[in-house]
Amino acid sequence: MNPAAKRVAVCPGSYDPITNGHVDVIGRASELFDEVIVAVVNQSVRKSNSVFGIEDRIAFIEGATTHFGNVRAEPFDVLIVEFAHRVGARCIVKGLRAISDFEYEFEMNQLNRMQDSQIDTLYLMASPQYSFLSSSGVKELATFGGNIDGLVPDGVADRLKEELQRRRNEG
């Protein structure tokens, strides 16, 4: 590989919503790569019924990562290895919190390597203060009135509470 080549990574996920754990992993990845593209899946097979649309999720990510300087968010709706290839990334960066994350991510890594052996995956262990944090956990807390301040970037907590309240009122 050309030593002068730009080192690009993608951090894929649904980010519904982005959490401070996500921001931590993205920030740490931004120190390792020249450019980090937060790849926001538009429709997930694994997770359905997003609380926020793709535009909101991208706006939350942009607001939470603007200070990194080399991070941008983009939607995708193809295989992550295909997206990585399109944007010139050679690495997928994922955060791991627990053994259950490892089992799922190990399987995904093997499937991705079968699709494109030139794309590697780098796993960053969750920082201790975020080892329990997930978007689904944040949504569950918010649904039942729990305190989510400090778990998500500024502005996300209020918007999440508003959206969940709106859905409750409609249902």
Per-residue pLDDT of 114-171, as tens digits, reads 999 999 999 999 999 999 999 999 999 998 889 999 999 988 999 998 898 888 888 6
pLDDT for residue 44 is more than 80? no
pLDDT at position 61, please?
98
The model's pTM: 0.92
pLDDT at position 171, please?
67
pLDDT at position 48, please?
61
pLDDT at position 17, please?
96
For residue 161, tell me if it sits in a domain: no
For residue 19, tell me if it sits in a domain: yes
For residue 146, tell me if it sits in a domain: no
For residue 53, tell me if it sits in a domain: yes
Round to whole Å and give the CA distance between 91 and 119.
5
For residue 1, tell me if it sits in a domain: no
The domain total for the chain is 1
For residue 62, tell me if it sits in a domain: yes
> Where does the pLDDT of residue 46 fall: very low under 50, low under 70, confident under 90, or very high at 90 and above?
low
Q: Which residues contact 22 (CB under 8 A, 6 or more apart)?
A: 11, 13, 15, 95, 135
